[in-house]
Structure formats: structure tokens, C-alpha cells
Structure 1
């Protein structure tokens, strides 16, 4: 009895000290995370204030100071007079179409490589993985030459083909772990019931991968929406330009409308920001699901 009481007295301070250490550790972690979150939000706050100022306020006031007279007209000006409405719609449909094609084609390739036995599957997968190491800038001249010969320069298809080609490797890499982890018993049962390969993929495998598909779709959307190099190289007509290139309309030889540029950047950020806020849990779920094999 005495020895048991002594043991409790010895364990009591140790356990309370460990609990206190855990609380301090969590408190320090939360403080660090809050500071990181604030640092992430500050550029958005600065851009919002920037978009509501005129040129004089941009250069004469501190960066995070509120504008003396908020210029909400900057948003209406860039939307109508600056053709941002056209650029915005171009960004939307090009991004959606390229993302959908990339996700579907990458799913087909990954299914064929991981779930079907055929000669050369490892070689094909290796080719896609090697493509990840090719710098984008090194392909601009060859791609421009090819598109020029087949009549796709200054055409939205040049953007869609380029986005799909360069996003396929990273999309396949994300899908690989999830497809390897799929139980083969489901496919075997479907084959016994007389299910064809095409039907098995469309009705069984493809729906089972919805979480990781959401992850790849969001990653593709962010890349396609923010892409600048291909648009600036292949597109010259205003009717096909996207938001990333359209911001240059407010940069003149002698004067630059900085408030309009800020408003354009704010408009371009909002769709991706809203999408990420609503679907961020899908990104974590998809990455976690694709990181475990077996």
C-alpha cells in the first residue's frame, strides 16, 4: 500500500509536467501557424487596398494604408473598357476544358498502366515521368513552329493542347498511388458478371477515384488559370487572350494605371481562391488517399 502510494506521488508530478509540456508545445505550434496564416493573407489585403487607389495614392501612401477615397470604379472600368469580361470568360472555358481533358486522359493512361497487363506499360509510364523534367521554356520555339505549320497559332486550341500535354505527367503521378491501392476483387467480380473493360472503367473504377480526381482537377485548374507563358507566346488577338495577359492592357508607354492593374489581379485571384476554400478538404483527402499503397 505504501509503495503504491509512493509510486502515484512519483508519477503525479511527471505526468502533470508532460501534460504541461504538451500544452506549451501545442500553444507554440498554434502561434506559429497563426503567424504563417497572417503572412499568407497580408498580400491579399495589400492587393485589395492597392486596387482601390489611384496612381498618386499608390506612390504617396504607405502600402497597407486605406485609400482616402476608394476607387471602386477601377473594377467597373477594367470589366468593361479593359475587356476583362472577355478575358475572364476565355480563362474560364479554356481552364475548364483543359482540366477536364487532362483528368480524363490521365485516368485512362493510369488505369491502363496499373490495372492492365501489356508489354511496354513500364516504358510508357517512364516516358510520362521523364516528361516532367522537360523545362517549359525549352519547348516554346518548337511548339510555336508546329502550331504555325498546322494553323493553330493565335487559336485557343494551342493553349488547350499545351496545358493537357504539360499537366499529364504530374496528374498521372498523383493518380498512380491511388490506382495501385484499388482492390482487384471489385474488378474480378465485375468480369465474372460479364462487364467489359470500358464499362468497368467508366462505371466502377472512375467513380471510385472521385476524391483523388478532385485533387488533380484543382491542381490543374490553378496551373491553367495562372498560366502566362503559353498565352503570351501563342495568342495575339484580344478575343482569345486570358486574364493573365490582359493585365498588360493597362501598361502604357508613358503612363500605367496601377489601380486598374490591381483590380484586374484581384478579379483573377478570386475564382481560384473561392474554389480552393470550398474544396481544400478534397485536396488533402485525395493526396492522403493516393499516398498509401496496398
Structure 2
């Protein structure tokens, strides 16, 4: 009995972290706090920037509090600056392109990884090669194509472009997860008389919810912040998004820097809030799809 108690004490003493371990964790936490503060620095600066007028922007230090916080900058850009229209356009175009990309990417990945057919490797290779095509090299061909089919200055040109350029990265993220799915589940469903379409939408698709959340967030961030396609294909104010709408406050002779800061702050908040609530899903999805079963 005494020997057993001694062994238990020895095991507990060995499991307790030593001074060196505690010191190492303390240093690690201190470094992480510093890195987090550096990451928050641009957001704090942008918040103060959006509450200043032009004189305060140029005459006061970057992190100084505004002498008279101008919250009317936000009201100004939302009503007079047409930002409400740009914000709504950013929301529905981003959501539409993300849903289409995730759905099509899931279907392609399922067909390539879970079904046997000739040309599956070639199709997968073509999607992976597409990742190496620079966006800027496609602007003129895409503009010419959309101009011929009457899609210039139309939101559909943006949605099609976003889907095309986000499909390769979406498929790449989904690949590892689909390879790791147990085939026994599909075999059991086939024995019960389940069709391929029903098996995908009722069994496989729900099983991939974590990695789908990861791909959806990545697509949302890209689509929300995209500038080149909007600036190239869209000319009407009724179809512009937030990334291009900020140019309204840049004039030939004067620039309203406070309004620009307010617009940028409004454009950052939705993605920031989404990331804060779903950041664990991103890590979970990437980790789940990183190991091939």
C-alpha cells in the first residue's frame, strides 16, 4: 500500500510542469500578446482615422484621438455617399458567388474522388493548373467575352468570374476530406437502394459541413474584398460594390479622408465579425482535410 502511494506521488510530481516549462509558456504568451496587439494596430488606427476631418488626419499623430469625433462621417457615407447600395451589392454578390462555388466545387470533388470514370484525373489536373493563371492576364479576354454576350456592366459577370477563379482552391481544400470519407457509408446506402444524387445530398454533403464552412469563409473573404473585376466590368453605380465605391470620395482637387476611413471601416466589419465567429471552423476544416485516409 505504501509503495503504491509512493508511485502515485512520483507520477503526480513528474506530470507537474517544471519551472522551465512555465517560463517557456510565459514567454510564448507574451510574444502572442505582442503579435495580437500588432495585428489590432491597423484596426485601431482606421477607427480613429474614420472619426477625423482632413486637418486632423494630417496634423495629428496617427494614433491620437480625434479632437471632436465625427460620427457623422458614417452617416454621410451611408446616405449621401451611396454606400448603402454598394454594401447591399457586396452582400448579395458575395453570397451568391460563394454558394455557387461551394456547391459546384463539392459536386466536382465528389465526382473526381468517389466515382470511377475516364478522364477524372485529367479534369482534376485542369482545375489545379487553373490556379497558376494570373488574374490580370484574363482581364482583356474576359472583358471581350462579356462584351460579346452582353454581360458587361452586369453583376453576372462578377459572379461568373468569382466562381471560375475560386473553384480550384475550393476543390483543393475539399480533396483531402473527400478522400478520407469512409466508403462503407456509401456502400451501405447503395445496398439500401439510394441513388447517387440522393446519396450526395442526404449523406455525403452533410458529412462535409466543417470543410464546407472553411471553403465558404475563404470564398467570402476573396469575393468581398475583390476590386479588379468590379473596376473593370462594372461602370454603373447601381451595381458597384464597396471596394470600388470608396473612390467616390476621391476628387480631382480635394479628398474626404474621414469619409474614406468610414467606408473602409464599414467594409471590414462584416468579414471581421464572420471570421471571429467561425474561425474555429476554418481550423477544423483545414485540419480535417489535411490528412488523406
| Bin for the TM-score computed over the shorter chain | over 0.9
Asked whether 1:165 is paired with 2:160, we answer no
Distance 1:183 1:17 in 2: 40
Alignment of 1:277-288 (within 5 A): 277-288=276-287
Match of residue 272 from structure 2 = 273
**Shift in Å, 1:15:** 6.5
**Shift in Å, 1:54:** 0.1
Asked whether 1:79 is paired with 2:78, we answer yes
Match of residue 3 from structure 1 = none
Distance 2:44 2:245 in 1: 22
> For this pair of structures, how many residues does the alignment match?
285
- Any unmatched runs of 5+ in structure 1? 1-7
Kindly provide the CA deviation profile for residues 191-238 of structure 1, in whole angstroms up to 9, marking residues without a partner as x. Answer: 000000000001000000000000000000000000000000000000
Alignment of 1:1-294 (within 5 A): 19-294=18-293
Distance 2:230 2:109 in 1: 29
Distance 1:154 1:148 in 2: 9
Name the TM-score, length of structure 1 as normaliser.
0.94
**Shift in Å, 1:284:** 0.7
- Any unmatched runs of 5+ in structure 2? 1-6
Q: 1:204 to 1:16 in 2, by over 3 A?
A: closer
**Shift in Å, 1:22:** 1.1
Kindly provide the CA deviation profile for residues 45-80 of structure 1, in whole angstroms up to 9, marking residues without a partner as x. Answer: 000000000000000000000000000000000000
Distance 1:273 1:140 in 2: 29
Cα RMSD between the aligned structures? 1.7
Distance 2:143 2:16 in 1: 66
**Shift in Å, 1:17:** 11
Deviating beyond 6 angstroms after TM superposition, the runs of 4 or more aligned structure 1 residues are 14-18
**Shift in Å, 1:18:** 7.3
Name the TM-score, length of structure 2 as normaliser.
0.95
**Shift in Å, 1:184:** 0.1
**Shift in Å, 1:16:** 10
Distance 1:212 1:61 in 2: 46
Give 3-state SS (helix, strand or coil) of 1:287's partner: helix
**Shift in Å, 1:21:** 1.4
Distance 2:97 2:180 in 1: 27
Distance 1:18 1:195 in 2: 54
Distance 1:155 1:199 in 2: 35
